[in-house]
Amino acid sequence: MQTRRFLGTLSGLKRFYREQKEIFRGEKLSIAGLIILLAFVLLAIIGPHIAPYGSFEVSVEKSGFVPQDKSPSAKHLFGLTRYGHDVFSQTLTGARTAVVVGLVSALMVVLVGGNLGLIAGYKGGWIDEVIMRITDIAYGIPFLPMALVLMTLMGRGAWNIVIVIVVLFWRTTSRVIRSQVLTVKERAYIKSAQVAGASDLRIMYRHIAPNVLPMTFLYLSFAVGWAVIAEASISFLGFGDPDDVSWGQMIHQVFAAQMFREAWWWYLPPGFCIVLLVMSTFLIGLAYEKVVNPRLKND
Amino acid sequence: MSLLEIRNLEINYRSRNGLARAVDRVSLSLDAGDTLGLVGESGCGKTTVAKAVMRLLPEKKALVRGEIRFKGRDLMKLDWKEIRKIRWEEIALISQSAMNALDPVHRVGDQVMEPMIYHRNVSKAIARNRMAEVFGLVGLNYDRAFDYPHQFSGGMKQRVVIAMALMLEPDLIIADEPTTALDVLVQDQIIHQIKELLSRLNHAFILITHDIAVVAETCRRMIVMYAGKIMEYAETEAIFYDPYNPYTLGLQNAFPSVKGPKRELISIPGFPPSLMDPVGGCRFAARCPFSLPRCLKEEPALSEVGPGHFSACHRHVDVAEIRERARRFETWLRDEAA
Amino acid sequence: MIITLWVLITVVFFLFRIVPADPTAMFVGAALDPVSQKMLKEMHGLDKPKLVQYVVYLNNLLKGEFGVSIRTNHEVIGMLRDKIWNTLFLMGISMCLAFFLGVGIGTFLAWKRGTAIDAAGVTLFLAFRSAPEFWTGMILLVIFGYGLKWFPIGLMLTPGAIYSGFWDKYFNWDFVHHLILPVFTMTLFYLATPMLVTRNSILDILKEDFIELAQAKGLSDTRIMFRYALRNALLPVITIAPLMVGFAIGGQVLLEKVFSWPGMGRELVDAVSGLDYPVVQAAFLFMGAVVIFGNFLTDVLYRILDPRVEIG
């Protein structure tokens, strides 16, 4: 009995993998995006370990002098910050923050927003009304200002950033998924499942959910990109986690030190990393977009 | 000289899995003022042929070979500027309109007048006059020109599209499934309208449809197509009273006639073949109840079986027997394929 | 609509008052003697229960009073009035540019679909969208401000300049000169969204039957693109406009910091860090109003453009 379930899941996974492969076939840009994203995930895992220096390590020279603001050299590939920290190490370590915040926030945004949208769309009635009203209100709240308020009240910290992002970003996903669900709901096999007496839960998760999966993945990809930029923005404004290194925070320090005129080595690397990471997620999204809207395909 | 002459038209579609042979060496000719019907199942290539005449096929995906001579000029060799000049002025298209042929954000009148203003650079007043004329021809109230498409019923939208085609008095009008999306009563009205127009005006007319009955009422000549090839080609009367091709016989069976004797509807079992890598032999052989081993190997050429009557089949000699058997229901059951 | 605004104000109002720290401590210095403290509390109405404070606040709002800033003790409205205009100008111009350029480029790319230009264009603007505004702003500042010295390095107007009035202040070359870099940065960032939506929308429309009929009518590609494709494609693009406005307001905060632009964004950040609730509340009220107005405008525009929707 259990082996059958296990094999069922295994074959389900295999099928899932094959379907995803099909989606990406021929989409050079999206495949490039996927590779870049995976590279960053790898970096997130091993980054802090391969960094030549600690993120907050200050190297003291023999004379007791602490070098600062140095441009790139052999010892410090990306140079030093005003505080004597190695930029290269910070960049590598920062990958972890960006990737973790990005992926976790995005996943939760989609889980919350997706489920709310599914329930609202399928159940209709007052549940729909309530959820949609809340979504409407959420839409009216500008992200960054509210994020700042929440960060002030909750205190600094990477996980707080995740919470803030989730609380404010689920709205887009829920609305979009809901409209898709409304369309799928009317299809014949859903009606027949209803007539056959299937429970709401079963219909929602076994029949409707798989159909809105491409759309969900699309928004998942976008959400990662948005989350990374959101985290960088919050950190840039000085509300980031002081104990952690993040790319946004590095740029914040450059600006605070008013060093951006000279210390190009300090803010260009983290910036480029953000660009690459976010770009990769958008490119991946392009492939899912074509699934959701086949008219966009090139053939 | 005929108005339109197509010679050995071959159209291949590029798709992910290879080339699909949509039209396989089709030739036909049409004189000025004459009417021709192109009949066949969906996917048999009839629409593709029509679109090719107006060069509406996507250039990168559809590879067109052969000659399409219109008033003596090979349309395949003209450049875009000239093609655009010919479009609508000399060849116009009536499409299926019940769905989407009219742009939802512009008024109907603007869309109808547009070809005239655009091609002939005339004033709006002149265009409006002509529009009133054609609206009258199709039985539409002139006031409706100020409405938007979503305010029209299916039948009325079809009339608009017909009127639009008449605006510049083209030499040739191609109608692509003009009645398919309409319900039966409206279909009848539209067919009557078309008949009336055909008798009054002398545009040449090509009608594309899968509904053999519509062709019977409107066209003098008829081509039956299957899987990109011409199966039978003759005057409509000849095809109805004197059919030679088994596929034609099958088609006739599938359409009910309110007038004739009561009989069972017989459909042709099976599905049209894939257009990729066409197999040798007659395309219809796999579904044909009268096929011989020869049919599967050798492709029959179009041969003349009567004055101006052509058919592609190896078994013309047995036509009498075939006609007899075709009338019987059992012939068309799957396992009876002889 | 108004409900959204109301909920927003309420949320912000109570958010600050649920904070563990003693909210009154901000208003009233702890070092003061109890009598003065009590006086100040009464003055600010802080001795009354929260709900009463809330009602009083709403009441004042309707009268047009936004309270007094905790940090500066000036009237909030005086502080913010100018800043509001500064922000509106920057944001308004950037958004309009981003929208129009976005639609234009999107149409162009849709026309060139499948070619290298299409891929290059999409990638380029996606890259700009992926680069954080503040980072792009910094780079542009360094290159064009410090480096080439084409543009001033921040602020809105040359310090020390005196203006005779509203029009004089904003409609002069100095203002425009200062405006260019921040607007350029913002436009680059935000233009990707309408561009992509337009491009996709047009690609969608191009497969419709009426486009084929337009081709059959012998119309030129350009005419079909603009008169039929774009006109239809604009509808979905317009619906995302309010979303863009929502994001842009947040983005303002970032840019105002980088370019030292004296606007609402900067005020907001300072007010939040300083727990200056009245200012924060007023700022949110303003932002909410902008978003709501944007929504309303979009609705109206949509009704005008789509004849299928009944007016009214």
Cβ-based contacts of B148 with chain C (< 8 Å): 307-308
Of C51, C56, C53, C29, give the one whose Cα is nearest residue C40: C29
**How many angstroms separate the Cα of A296 from the Cα of each of A222, A286, A290, B102, C203?**
18, 10, 5, 22, 6
Of residues C208, C210, C216, nearest to B93 (C-beta) = C216
CB atoms A145 and C254 under 8 Å: no
Size of interface A-B (CB pairs under 8 A): 4
Confidence of residue B157 (pLDDT cuts 50, 70, 90): confident
Residue range A228-239: mean pLDDT, rounded = 90
Q: How far is C305 from chain B (nearest CA, A)?
A: 8
Highest average pLDDT, of B99-103, B272-276, B315-319, C306-310, comes from B315-319
Mean pLDDT of C182-187: 92
* Chains adjacent to A (≥3 CB pairs closer than 8 angstroms): B, C
Report pLDDT digits (tens) over B310-335.
998 888 888 888 888 887 777 777 65
pLDDT in tens, C248-287: 888 888 998 888 888 888 888 888 887 777 788 788 878 8
Share of chain A above pLDDT 70, in %: 89
Question: How do residues B80-96 score in pLDDT, each as one tens digit?
Answer: 888 888 888 889 888 87
CB contact under 8 A, A236 and C254: yes
Dihedral sign of CA atoms C267, C268, C271, C277 in order: positive
Residues of chain A with Cβ-Cβ distance to B15 below 8 Å are: 299
Alpha-helical regions (H) of B3-97: 46-53, 80-86
pLDDT at B338 over 50: no
The answer to whether the CB of A261 falls within 8 A of the CB of C145 is no
Report the range out of A183-192, B161-170, C41-50 with the highest average pLDDT. B161-170
CB nearest A152 (choices: C133, C249, C273): C273
CB–CB of B162/B195 below 8 Å? no
C226 shares contact with chain B (CB less than 8 Å): no
C161: pLDDT strictly greater than 70: no
CB pairs under 8 A between A and C: 139
| Cβ–Cβ contact B41 with C under 8 A | no
Indicate whether B207 pLDDT > 60.
Answer: yes
Put simply, the chain C residues between 193 and 212 with a CB less than 8 A from any chain A CB are 200, 203-204, 207
Per-residue pLDDT, B249: 85
User: Do residue B88 and residue C217 have CB atoms under 8 angstroms apart?
Assistant: yes
- Do you know the residue count of chain A? 299
User: From the candidates C207, C255, C272, which should be mutated to test the interface with A, based on the most A CB atoms within 10 A?
Assistant: C272
Q: Determine the residue among B54, B75, B105 to mutate to test chain C binding: the one whose Cβ has the most chain C Cβ atoms within 10 Å.
A: B105
Assess whether pLDDT exceeds 60 at residue A1: no
**Range from A210-214, B262-266, B314-318, C185-189 carrying the lowest mean pLDDT:** B262-266
| Average of per-residue pLDDT values in chain A | 82
For C223, the closest chain B residue by CA position comes to: B118
Q: Which residue of A has its CA nearest to B62?
A: A299
Share of chain B above pLDDT 90, in %: 9
User: Which string of DSSP letters, residue by residue, matches chain C?
Assistant: -HHHHHHHHHHHHHHHHHSSS-HHHHHS-TTS-HHHHHHHHHHHTTTS-HHHHHHHHHHHHHHT---B-TTT-SBHHHHHHHHHHHHHHHHHHHHHHHHHHHHHHHHHHHHTTTSHHHHHHHHHHHHHHHS-HHHHHHHHIIIIIIIS--S-SSSSS-TT---SSHHHHHSSHHHHHHHHHHHHHHHHHHTHHHHHHHHHHHHHHHTSHHHHHHHHTT--HHHIIIIIIIHHHHHHHHHHHHHHHHHHHHHHHHHHHHTT--SHHHHHHHHHHTT-HHHHHHHHHHHHHHHHHHHHHHHHHHHHH-TTSPP-
Overall average pLDDT of the C232-256 stretch: 84
Nearest CB among B54, B99, B105 relative to C216 is that of B54
| Chain B touching partners, 3 or more CB pairs below 8 A | A, C
Q: What is the pTM of this model?
A: 0.79
Question: Which chains border C (3 or more CB–CB pairs < 8 Å)?
Answer: A, B
Contact C217 B105 (CB under 8 A): no
Q: How far is A299 from chain B (nearest CA, A)?
A: 7
The pLDDT score that the predictor gives to residue C147 is 75
| Token reading at A114 | 């997706």
Model confidence at A287: pLDDT above 80: yes
Mean pLDDT over residues C210-221, rounded?
87
Which residues in chain B are closer than 8 Å to A299, comparing Cβ atoms?
14-16, 61
Question: What percent of chain B is modeled with pLDDT above 70?
Answer: 94
* C102 confidence band (pLDDT: 50, 70, 90): very high
Cβ distance of C132 and A152 shorter than 8 Å? no
* Predicted pLDDT at B189: 86
C169 confidence band (pLDDT: 50, 70, 90): low
Measured between beta carbons, the chain A residues lying within 8 angstroms of B14 are 299
Mean pLDDT for the stretch of residues C139-161: 75
Give me the pLDDT at residue C25, please.
53
**Interface contact B100-C305, CB threshold 8 A:** no
In total, chain C counts a number of residues equal to 312
A299 inside 8 A of chain B by CB: yes
pLDDT at B201: 84
Confidence of residue C312 (pLDDT cuts 50, 70, 90): very low
For residues B282-297, give the mean pLDDT. Answer: 84
Mean pLDDT of chain B: 84
- Residue C97: its pLDDT value, please? 92
Q: Does C132 contact A at CB distance below 8 Å? A: yes
pLDDT one-digit tens code per residue, A30-56: 888 889 999 999 888 888 787 777 767
Quickly state the pLDDT bin for B56 (edges 50, 70, 90).
Answer: confident
C257 touches chain A (CB under 8 A): yes
Q: Does B104 touch chain C (CB under 8 A)?
A: yes
Contact C135 A267 (CB under 8 A): yes
Q: Min CA distance, B93 vs chain C (Å)?
A: 7
